[in-house]
Structure formats: C-alpha cells, structure tokens
A and B are shown apart, each in its own frame.
Chain A
C-alpha cells in the first residue's frame, strides 16, 4: 500500500452528497457556500446530510484511533447510500478514502468503511476527473500562488487545480519554490510541536508571497487557518481564497451566476 492513492473506479455522476467539513461548518461558511454554487453551476444536485460533524482526522492523527473510529462510524451512517461524496478539503477527503480504511484494518466493519472510502472525492479532483470539466468559464483578474497541501499528494487534485485555474481568463498562477514542503499545520502537530510548526509556517509564507501575489489560494482550509492565522498575527494583509471561491467568483465576475 502506498500513501494517498485515490480509490479506483469511484462513482461520479451529478447527484452527490456534500461533506462540508467541520472547519467550514465552524469558521469558513463562504467556502462551503462557494462549493455549492460551483457544483450547482455544473448541474449537480446536492444533498447535505444533516447529521454530519467531522471526518475524525484530529483523533486519527493523534493516535487516538478508538475515538476516531467512533466518529468515522458516525460519518458512515450519516453518509449512507451510493452517491459520490464530495469534500472541499484535501485532508478531510484523504482521511475518508485513506485514513479510515487504515484505522479499520482489523475491525469487523471494514467493508462498510471501505465502501465509504471508495466513493469519496476531493472537490477539484471530482470536478476535473469525475465530471470531466477541464476548462473553467468566467473571468478573474489576479496573479495568484497556490499552496499544494500535503494531503493532495499522490492524488490528481494538484493537476486538477492547475488545469481549472489556468483556464480562467485573466488569472495567472505563479509557481512557488519548494512546493513539496509542508506548511506546518498537521492538525494537533501544530500545538504539540509549536516551534517547528511555526518555523515551517514562516518558510511557507515566504515562498507563497515571494512574487507578491494578489491572492494565495489553497484547497484545504486547515493549512490556510494555520498559515493565514500566522499572517494575521504578523499583521500581513495577504488576501487568501479557497480554490472553490475563485471558481465561484470568476463565474460571478462574468455574469454566469
């Protein structure tokens, strides 16, 4: 087994379940809203399971697998069915399609969890490789840099993000140095290793802002909460957007929605 290879033959189709993520639920309402607007523009019919909470990742990464499994079992129940599950976060998606089967390896209900994993998509991966959209209509005048969050590693999401963003009229994506380096979030890592996390964040901010972009973009609000929070603490007025917000705004800018 290798890390973060997305499951093969995932269901696509336009009738989907949205996992809006706990961070969007608590802090980033507009990111979830933009996700809905983008998917609906593409003709998707969205179900938002009401009982959803969190993907279970904080406990999984902390080694508290018993707690994490409790949350994942709840998620599997809430997201019952056959529809593709779409998640506007690389790390929550990877938690479901990779992390959950790992922590259920020795559990009797692994098949149910594997079934959940096998229909889970990160948002941009879904748009490009699930729905086959390779060009994004609309206009967005800006120079941006993109943070490649680590949980997109091994999946086709980074390619999907570049494909979509570079097709938008008026938008330039500037390359950054050392894209493979982590921003230092890592969930509870950020609080149990605050000094290292901080040093990593400082380096990442340096790379992301070296070309003085108008916007720093990412497909993971976890990373953004960390390095964005650092930028704000340091009084750095850098505009940041989730890729879904850029897609939505480019539609708005050109009157498409």
Chain B
C-alpha cells in the first residue's frame, strides 16, 4: 500500500552513490555560500532583502517594465518576440532558423528551454542542436535531464560519464579522469561552435532601462555561442527583468555567492545587441524571445513571490529533503524548494499530478534563510498545500492523516479534557500494533513518550 509520499519512496530507493553525490555536493555548496557571503558582507540578510524588494517591485510593475525593455532592446537593434506558451516559443525559434536557412544551433545552459523541451522540438524538425554547457552536453548524450538548477549532472559520476563518452566515441578510449573528459568535450565542441548557424542562450537579468542582458556562466560557453555565429537568440522568462543597470551590481554579487560560493561567476557577459559600426564584433542578428509559459498566471496567484527567483540553487543545496531525495525525485524541470512551488504552478491544469511536491518539506525555513531574493518559500508551500486540499488532489494527501475529527476535538474543551484523561490507557496498549498507517510510520523509527494527559493542569490547580 502506498501510504508514503512518492518523493519519500524515491529517497528510500535511491542508489547510495547517487545519494552521496547529491548530498555532499549540496552540503559543500551551502558551506561555500555561507563563508563567501559572510566574509564579504557584514549583513548579507540586508542584501537579500533589498534584492527581494527590487524583484518584487519589478514584478508588481511588470507590464510597464516589459514595454520599457522591449523599447530599449529595439533601440539596440534587437528583434523582440513574445511567446505565450511552449509551442509558441519553440515555433518562434524554429521560424527564425528557417527564415535564415539555419540548420544547426549551439546553445548554452538555459532552464527555460528545459521547461519547454526546445531541444527535442528542434531535433524533431530536423535541426542539429548541441548543448555546450559541459553538464548539459552530457545530459544530451544520455537523453537525461538536469537534477539540479546549477549543477545539472550532480547525480552522475565520472565513470558513468566516461562510459557515455566511450559509447559516443568522443575521445579514442575509455578514460574517467575528469580533466581528460573535459578536454575531450572541449575539443568536440570547438568545431561545433564554428560550424553552427545559430547560437542560443538564456539570460540571467535584463535591464529594462538599457535593454542590456546580463549572462553568467563558469565555462565561457555562452560567449562562444554568440561570438562565432551570425544569429544570436536569447530565450528569456519575462520575470528576468530588473529596472536599471545599477541593479545588476547587486544581483551579480548575489548570484555567484548564493549558487556556488563564488564571489563572481567566471564569465559575466553584458550584451547590448548585435554588431554595429562602433562594435564590429558579434552576431549580425539578435533576437530576444520573452517567454510567458504560465508566468502571468503565477503572477496573478497568491504565490507570485516565486517569480523573484534568480535560479541560483541555494535553496536546493540547503534543503534537507533535497539532500536526501536528489533532484529527479521532484519529477519536473525545477527541483528542490523552488521547484516544489514553481513546478506545480507551471503545470497549469496538471497541478494535481505535482500537488505532492509542496508536501516535500518539513517547513524548516532554511530555503527562505538562504534565498538571495528572500522568497518566503515555506509560506508559498503552505498556500499550495491548502490549494491541493481544497481541490482534492490525491497525490498531496498520501500519508497525511485526516484532521477533521481532530479539529472538532480541539474546538471542544470538555471533549479535549476527557480525551486527555482517557489517553492514559495508551501507556498500556502495545502501540506498535495500532494498524493506522501514520502510527506505523511513527513507530517504525521512534518510541512514543509516556502519556501524562492532564497532569500539568491538575498540578497547576492544586498547588496552592
């Protein structure tokens, strides 16, 4: 009988080696995050709160800022497209490619393209697409998907990767030395960059004021994707706007420190449009596709704060549930605490299928404490639990005892006190034998304390 939550079962059955890799990776990144932030700033919480306010402000005025960003981008010579859903985004990108007789694409890491399954779509339409982020490249070879927002292959080990490379004939033999693997990928990818017609990237922040796109990577692959190609397409969620260039300083200082404990990510690009007379290098054409894909629905919901997210992964790293379950347990593109809020919301009418995700939290609040934009994740998880209950989503209810009767008991003091005084019988019942699934789950690993119902009240009343 499936009395436990699905994520709990995945965690139980997880390969110990994968568990170790997820766990240690997360722990290390959490420690680095803490050390870098606290070494560099007296009060990192103030930064987080400020960044949260800026993002929230932008979201509250997103219509205005989107128009401003569109105008700024156009001024810079960028073609701006808006796409409501996954099909529209994919069709837009395909159309740009076809209009330019483009057959191959190199792309850098972008969570939003994972969300809309762009790679599969373009391949289906006969285009060659190569992921150039090392992790994403390996995932593409394995037909796998990311288990972490920032470190997408943290669930893999070097031996498995070496086998993949051997199978795909990247390099002449099996070699599981990480440096060799990286060098081989680099050699393989270098020619792909040169041969490609189109370079596709995401965008971490877009300044509405200037239309400048800030893009951060640690491998420099996004830079390559743009440098060698005639066409650059940036696919960007509409929530990625910030009002001004000045704001970028704060966010770039937070994103590297929060995600990996780096003061700054290694490569920080500021992209202000295609090549011009005064800036003769770079692509001839540049397109920005702003993606909605239910973001305006989220914006209209009581969980809109989740759109502040800058995809640093700090909440995953610190989350004790993610540490035990790994990212794939969340069955969606966005795992961990942010995913537990965002994925069910982005699922639209498939919400019930992912309604158990918000349950995967002890509501400890560590995610909120590390979030660089101070998203009150536990509050949002709770609102989604309420929504799941109201909508009768079965996935969410597994393993949760029914509390209706309990609520009645708690609202009637006489019944409550009677129950307390009768509870002493519990001490004489072999509680391990109670057939209720919740009782079984509790007793499996823990002893129940001795029942002392009503004793304190008696003491308080009689002590004078």
Contact = CB atoms under 8 A, between A and B. Distances in A.
Contacts, number: 228
B416 A53 contact: yes
B446 A182 contact: no
B460 A102 contact: no
B258 interface: no
Interface in B369-428: 369, 374, 376, 378-379, 382-389, 396, 398-401, 403-404, 406-411, 413, 416, 420, 423
A201 B445 contact: yes
A54 interface: yes
B361 A36 contact: no
Contact of B441 (A29, A187, A190): A190
Interface string A27-43: 11100110010000000
Given A63-B389, A150-B365, A193-B7, A102 B400 contact: no
A73 B321 CA distance: 32
Interface stretch (B139-147, B164-172, B447-455): B447-455
Contact of B447 (A64, A67, A229): A229
A133 B403 CA distance: 40
B442 A48 contact: no
Contact of A26 (B378, B404, B453): B453
A193 B454 CA distance: 30
Given A24-B456, A196-B325, A53 B448 contact: no
A182 B410 contact: no
B366 A63 contact: no
A191 B442 contact: yes
Given A3-B378, A26-B423, A65 B453 contact: no
Contacts of A102: 379, 382-383
Interface in A179-228: 180-182, 184-201, 203, 225-226, 228
A38 B404 CA distance: 36
A169 interface: no
A190 B442 contact: yes
A194 B403 CA distance: 19
Contacts of B363: 61, 150, 186-187, 189
B324 interface: yes
Given A193-B5, A196-B8, A64 B389 contact: yes
Nearest to A35: B456
Contacts of B416: 53
A58 interface: yes
A71 B411 contact: yes
A192 B444 CA distance: 12
A150 B11 contact: no
A62 interface: yes
Question: For A2, A29, A32, A226, which residue has the most chain B Cβ atoms within 10 angstroms?
Answer: A2
B406 A67 contact: yes
Chain B interface helix/strand/loop/mixed: helix
Contacts of A200: 320, 324, 362
Contacts of B9: 195
B104 interface: no
Nearest to A74: B411
Interface residues of A, number: 74
A48 to B, nearest CB: 5
B49 A191 contact: no
A103 interface: yes
Contacts of A195: 4, 8-9, 11-12, 324
A182 B364 contact: yes
Nearest to A23: B449
A102 B446 CA distance: 32
Nearest to A235: B447
Interface string B340-368: 00000000000000000011111111101
A63 B385 contact: yes
Given A186-B363, A191-B399, A195-B11, A233 B386 contact: no
Contacts of B246: none
Contacts of A191: 399-401, 437-438, 441-442
A53 B410 contact: yes
A176 B243 CA distance: 42
Contact of B456 (A29, A53, A180): A29
Contacts of B460: 32-33, 36, 48
A189 B358 CA distance: 11
A252 interface: no
Nearest to B382: A102
Contacts of B369: 3, 153-154, 180
Contact of B444 (A63, A185, A194): A194
Contacts of A27: 449-452
Pairs of residues from A and B, 3 with the lowest C-beta to C-beta distance, nearest first? A186-B362, A63-B385, A229-B446
30 contacts: A20-B457, A25-B456, A29-B452, A33-B456, A50-B457, A52-B413, A53-B409, A53-B416, A67-B404, A70-B410, A71-B407, A71-B410, A99-B382, A154-B369, A191-B438, A192-B400, A193-B7, A193-B321, A193-B399, A198-B444, A199-B11, A199-B324, A200-B320, A200-B362, A225-B446, A225-B449, A229-B447, A229-B449, A230-B446, A232-B447
Interface of A: 1-4, 20, 22, 24-29, 32-33, 36, 48, 50-54, 56, 58-65, 67-68, 70-71, 73-74, 78, 99, 102-103, 105, 150-151, 153-154, 180-182, 184-201, 203, 225-226, 228-230, 232-233
Given A2-B376, A191-B441, A225-B449, 13 more contacts: A1-B379, A25-B453, A27-B451, A29-B456, A59-B406, A63-B389, A67-B403, A189-B363, A191-B438, A198-B445, A229-B446, A229-B449, A233-B446
